Structure 1
């Protein structure tokens, strides 16, 4: 049985919200009723489009923080199950961050 979840919501304005929780069903209801977070409260309705289960909540939280740093394209590859794209998208992200004018 899962003790933690990392999840991604699609907000009404087509942005993504990434979070973690011990109770996915309750947390989704909280988001839908405007009680989940300030970010989603202003972007209702939201749709649960992806989640991962973890044995411990701290692992779910760690994964949440990892995915929050990802680009939109990398999140979309994860959501669509195209995990083979993740390493290449990570390279492109680091190239952008560390490119120097020259």
Structure 2
């Protein structure tokens, strides 16, 4: 299975990092406050970064590495533009836009 590592900008301007096999589905789950407890007090605003083509193990390792980065280092990673959503189906709505997933 093809796993992805992603970073989401949250309503409190924090950065959330996670892994999934389906980024749009997982973003919708976060928006609906299903799954990660992190989103019980905040909501996702924007998908900022995605790395594709991981297996479960490499995705977990990469997630752990990213979570250990400082906020500044995470922003540098995001701004590097190394990887972006691969398809239009992964372009998620911005804050205030309708989510049709």
User: TM-score scaled by structure 2?
Assistant: 0.74
Structure with greater Cα Rg: 1
Structure with the largest fraction of helix:
1
* Matched position secondary structure for 1:53: strand
Q: Tell me the residue number matched to 1:70.
A: 69
In the TM superposition, what is the alpha-carbon distance from 1:82 to its structure 2 partner? 7.1
Structure with the largest fraction of strand:
2
* Matched position secondary structure for 2:80: coil
**Segments ≥4 residues shifted beyond 6 Å:** none
Q: Tell me the residue number matched to 1:79.
A: 78
Count of aligned residue pairs for this structure pair = 82
Q: Hey, what's the Cα distance between the residues in 2 that align with 1:36 and 1:81?
A: 29
Q: Tell me the residue number matched to 2:50.
A: 51
CA RMSD, 1 decimal:
1.7
**Residues 82 and 25 of structure 1: is their aligned pair in 2 closer, same or farther, counting only changes over 3 Å?**
closer
